[in-house]
Amino acid sequence: MKIDVSGKTALVTGSTQGIGAAIATGLAAAGAEVGVNGRTAESVTRAIDAIAARVDGARLVPVVADVTTEAGVDAVLAALPDVDVLVNNLGVFGSQDALTIDDDEWRRYFEVNVLSAVRLIRVYLPGMMERRWGRVLDIASDSAIVIPREMIHYGMSKTALLAVSRGFAKEAAGTGVTVNSVIAGPTHTGGVEDFVYELVDRSLPWDEAQREFMRLHRPQSLLQRLIEPEEIANLVVYLSSPLASATTGAAVRVDGGYVDSIVP
């Protein structure tokens, strides 16, 4: 199977590190011109340099903007007036006692994790529909289905993102544009190693430590290890390609079997 998105332009929000950077790298390797997004010029430049070092001939566009604001969306449009593939990856997460989450924090999670995606879909989807081709991918989480007690506000926002994806897929019905969400499971991203070693024996090598962490603290996982960002990216790149033309309105899982269900 050859995944080829040559001639397509993609935007990946929050793509200076972690899953977003892996997705940007994967799309660049598959031939797309990729908008690399972050809030500072320094972080975007570092990410572009890292991707260019891994992908020969990568075509990368710096997109310095805070996409959680209307002004940031204007900056995105100035850098990339049209895109064929929109990956709404940007998100914020954190743990907090449910009864201490105040209104401002609830609003912040909804603004960053949901409305930032909605704004970008509103500005880019019409062009995709007019051109009769496009891909919108919203990066959700297992927390959308298995709501964490310590991250109810995060789970709420990711559940809402599933609804956003399904709804906009209906808006794009019959146009050749697909809209999907990707349910990512526990992933090896920045800072997670420190978190793991807070809960397991620090003398263990990383591979053993993560497996012990999953056994003790994420026993639902059938993979029994953390997912690497590139493994999330592999699915996103496929869904961004012409090969995934019949998949739309779906919540596609790459969760290592974490969600105990045979359907999303």
The two most distant CA atoms of the chain are separated, in Å, by: 57
Q: Do residues 13 and 20 touch, judged by C-beta distance below 8 A?
A: yes
DSSP for 81-126 reads S--SEEEE---------GGG--HHHHHHHHIIIIIHHHHHHHHHHH
Strand partners, 102: none
Q: Kindly list the distances between the CA atom of residue 252 and the CA atoms of 90, 94, 141, 196, 199, in Å, as whole numbers in the listed order.
A: 18, 23, 10, 26, 30
Written as six digits, the tokens of 43 are: 């972080």
User: How crowded is residue 4: how many other Cβ atoms within 10 Å of its Cβ?
Assistant: 12
Can you tell me the distance from the alpha carbon of 170 to that of 235, in angstroms, rounded to the nearest whole number?
22
Indicate which residue of 154, 197, 238, 258 is catalytic: 154
Can you tell me the distance from the alpha carbon of 96 to that of 234, in angstroms, rounded to the nearest whole number?
31
User: How crowded is residue 198: how many other Cβ atoms within 10 Å of its Cβ?
Assistant: 9
Q: Is 124 a catalytic residue?
A: no
Burial of 186 per CB tally in 10 Å (0-12, 13-18, 19+)? buried
Residues with catalytic annotation?
154
